[in-house]
Structure 1
Amino acid sequence: MINEFMNEFETIGLYFALAGIFFFIGMAIQDVLKKGDVPKFGRYIVWLVLFLGCSGFIAKGLIQVFWQGAGVG
């Protein structure tokens, strides 16, 4: 029983740590874009790429949860 709780705690901690890393990457990119006087179109492209990377990570996690729940993986 305790092992199950530890596994859940480790998984949730990993997800929060990765979310924190994505947040800090976003803040660093925002700082670089402001200091570099990047045009608006370039900023939109950078944020689009960052958003697609985060959404891909979230989609992978959701697919993994659904597949494991269905007994596929």
Structure 2
Amino acid sequence: MQSNWLIEHWQQIETLGLYLFFAVLFFFIGMAIYDVLKRGEVPAFGRAIVWLVLFLGCAGFIAKGVIKAFFTATGTGG
């Protein structure tokens, strides 16, 4: 019975795993950038620009997922 549930929900499990992988990847990228900025003694304006670009990249990825889920739920997307 349990393996049958796993087969039925495999695509959802894969999608969740992929999103978790990207979240962990973004976290490690952020930690690496933090370390480089700290060791390089980058001025505050430069740090703000770097974090803004990183945030916009993450926000774009999240927005893509939300838009895709919305279109799939309404039947207009594949």
Pairwise TM-score range, normalised by the shorter structure: over 0.9
In 2, the alpha carbon distance for the partners of 1:22 and 1:39 equals 23
For residues 36-72 of structure 1, the C-alpha deviation after alignment (integer angstroms, 9 at most, x for no partner) is: 0100000000000000000000000000000000001
**2:24 equivalent to 1:20:** yes
Aligned-pair Cα RMSD in Å: 1.0
In 2, the alpha carbon distance for the partners of 1:2 and 1:34 equals 45
In 2, the alpha carbon distance for the partners of 1:72 and 1:2 equals 28
Q: Which segment is superposed worse, 48-57 or 3-12?
A: 3-12
Provide structure 2 residue ranges, at least 5 long, that are not aligned to the other structure. none
Indicate the structure whose relative CO is greater, using CA pairs within 8 Å and at least 6 residues apart: 1
Provide structure 1 residue ranges, at least 5 long, that are not aligned to the other structure. none
Scaled by the length of structure 1, the TM-score of the pair is 0.95
Structure (1 or 2) with the larger CA radius of gyration: 2
Identity across aligned pairs (percent)?
Answer: 62
Scaled by the length of structure 2, the TM-score of the pair is 0.89
